[in-house]
């Protein structure tokens, strides 16, 4: 076989020195983390902060200057607001005075009209009494009394009906099933039974809170308010009745309506009191309307 002769290694050239391998060569990532534990960005920020602290304004002083500037701004806002309020104060005071003066004028006008209405009502009542006496004779006064057209006074009873002290906490019983959840409050149907009971017990004239009742009077409700002839009443409800005082009181308390009122007091806390009076005064009804009437003709006249 022929071929190229192999050259023996040149032993005259010096061999390359081999550096010793580091023991942690296989943990290069961990070594890098240990050698550069602080990120370059953090290191740069720390250096800049240190430079500003040594050559710039102290941080405490800057905070104080910022607080002072905020206080000056707040004081400026308060001062401007006070100045505007001071400028607007005379205008507001003038408008308030004008409003008070207007209220006083309207109140005086309303009082004048009320006095005029009272005068006219008294004049109408006097004319009615004169007409009753002229055409009715002795019966005219009785008709005026029974119809409520004239004021009356005499012995009678005073009956006071008021809501329970804790009217909002009533509950249960037939009053709630009838649509009333607040059973401690006096209702219009309660006052209807009271008035009817007094009439049946012998009362000759009845008034509630100064409102005279007639044969055409109606006791109704509007929400929680009780209306007598469309005029609202507020509790306590004071019922005055002319009649034989003690006898009228006893007969009413023993009547079904009086027992009904007593049941309201016992079961629902509605407050009631009744007493005989030597003299009670009832005003005339505000208006007596005749719905149906025809003239009386004497015999022998056409």
Residue 181 has a pLDDT of 47
| HSE (side-chain half, CA atoms, 13 Å) at 284 | 19
Do 162 and 271 lie in one domain? The reply is yes
Q: Is residue 37 part of a domain?
A: no
195 by DSSP, 3-state: which? helix
> The whole model's pTM is what?
0.53
Q: Is residue 163 part of a domain?
A: yes
Do 276 and 172 lie in one domain? The reply is yes
Residue 249 has a pLDDT of 94
Q: What digits encode the pLDDT tens for the residues 146-169?
A: 677 778 899 999 999 999 987 654
Do 179 and 233 lie in one domain? The reply is yes
Residue ranges of the chain whose pLDDT lies below 50: 1-5, 9, 11-14, 18, 169-174, 177-181, 300-302
* CATH code for position 169: 3.30.70.1880
Residue 149 has a pLDDT of 72
Q: Is residue 148 part of a domain?
A: no
Is residue 280 within 8 A of residue 156, CB to CB? The reply is: yes
| HSE (side-chain half, CA atoms, 13 Å) at 246 | 0
Q: Is residue 277 part of a domain?
A: yes
Do 90 and 163 lie in one domain? The reply is no
Instruction: Report the domain count for the chain.
Output: 2
Q: Is residue 138 part of a domain?
A: no
Q: Is residue 233 part of a domain?
A: yes
Q: What digits encode the pLDDT tens for the residues 63-77?
A: 777 888 888 888 888
Is residue 182 within 8 A of residue 164, CB to CB? The reply is: no
Is residue 189 within 8 A of residue 195, CB to CB? The reply is: no
Q: Is residue 302 part of a domain?
A: no
Polymer length of the chain? 302
Q: What is the largest CA-CA distance in the chain?
A: 185
Do 231 and 186 lie in one domain? The reply is yes
Q: What digits encode the pLDDT tens for the residues 272-285?
A: 999 999 999 998 88
The DSSP annotation for 45-113 comes to HHHHHHHHHHHS--HHHHHHHHHHHHHHHHHHHHHHHHHHHHHHHHHHHHHHHHHHHHHHHHHHHHHHH
> Quick one: tokens of 34?
């240990």
Do 267 and 170 lie in one domain? The reply is yes
Among 64, 89, 116, give the residue marking a domain's end. 116
Structural domain range at position 103: 43-116
Q: Is residue 243 part of a domain?
A: yes
SS3 content of the chain, % helix, strand, coil (to 5): 50, 15, 30
């Amino acid at each position: 076989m022929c071929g190229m002769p192999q050259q023996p290694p040149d032993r005259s050239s010096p061999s390359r020195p081999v550096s010793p391998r580091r023991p942690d060569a296989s943990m290069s990532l961990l070594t890098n983390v240990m050698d550069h534990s602080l990120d370059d960005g953090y290191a740069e920020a720390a250096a800049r902060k240190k430079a500003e602290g040594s050559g710039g304004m102290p941080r405490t002083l800057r905070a104080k200057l910022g607080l002072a500037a905020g206080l000056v701004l707040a004081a400026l806002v308060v001062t401007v607001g006070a100045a505007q309020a001071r400028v607007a104060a005379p205008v507001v005071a003038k408008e308030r005075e004008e409003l008070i003066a207007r209220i006083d004028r309207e109140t005086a006008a309303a009082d004048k009209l009320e006095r005029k209405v009272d005068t006219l009502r008294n004049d109408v009542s006097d004319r009615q009494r004169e007409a009753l006496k002229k055409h009715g004779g002795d019966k005219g006064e009785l008709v005026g009394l029974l119809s409520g057209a004239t004021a009356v006074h005499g012995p009678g009873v005073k009956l006071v009906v008021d809501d329970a002290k804790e009217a909002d906490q009533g509950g249960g019983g037939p009053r709630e099933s009838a649509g009333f959840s607040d059973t401690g409050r006096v209702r219009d149907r309660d006052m209807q039974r009271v008035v009817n009971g007094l009439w049946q017990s012998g009362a000759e004239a009845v008034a509630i809170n100064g409102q005279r009742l007639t044969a055409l009077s109606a006791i109704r409700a509007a929400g929680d308010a009780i209306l007598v002839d469309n005029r609202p009443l507020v509790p306590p409800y004071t019922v005055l009745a002319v009649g034989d005082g003690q006898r009228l009181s006893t007969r009413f308390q023993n009547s079904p309506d009086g027992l009904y009122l007593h049941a309201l007091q016992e079961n629902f806390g509605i407050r009631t009191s009744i007493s005989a009076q030597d003299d009670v005064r009832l005003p005339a009804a505000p208006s007596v309307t005749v719905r149906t009437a025809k003239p009386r003709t004497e015999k022998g006249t056409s």
